[in-house]
Amino acid sequence: MKAVQARVTGRVQGVSFRWYTQEQAQRLGVVGWVRNEPDGSVLLHAEGEDDAVDALVEWCRTGPSMARVADVAVREAAPSDATSFDVGY
């Protein structure tokens, strides 16, 4: 099992990035959350099988078609008690 936190920067708010991230996470069996940050970035916490978490982070490097991702900064995170993947506000 792997847990990471990733900050996605670029044009990632107002383009349904969080909702598409939730869809991808659910498809991959990843739990955690994603939310918009005041600085215009998107922050996510993802937990699951190593390959699934890696695949979600890799998807975030492109995101949905309307997004323009500049960077994805990833760091290890402590596991949480998440049982689903939620969209925060």
Out of 18, 27, 61, 68, the active site residue is 18
Kindly provide the residue ranges of all beta strands, DSSP E only, lying in 20-61, ordered along the sequence. Answer: 31-36, 42-48
Could you confirm whether 75 is annotated as catalytic?
A: no
Could you confirm whether 18 is annotated as catalytic?
A: yes
Out of 7, 35, 36, 75, the active site residue is 36
Find the helix or strand (DSSP H, E) in which 39 lies.
none
Q: How far apart are CA 32 and CA 37, in angstroms?
A: 16
**Active centre residues (catalytic):** 18, 36
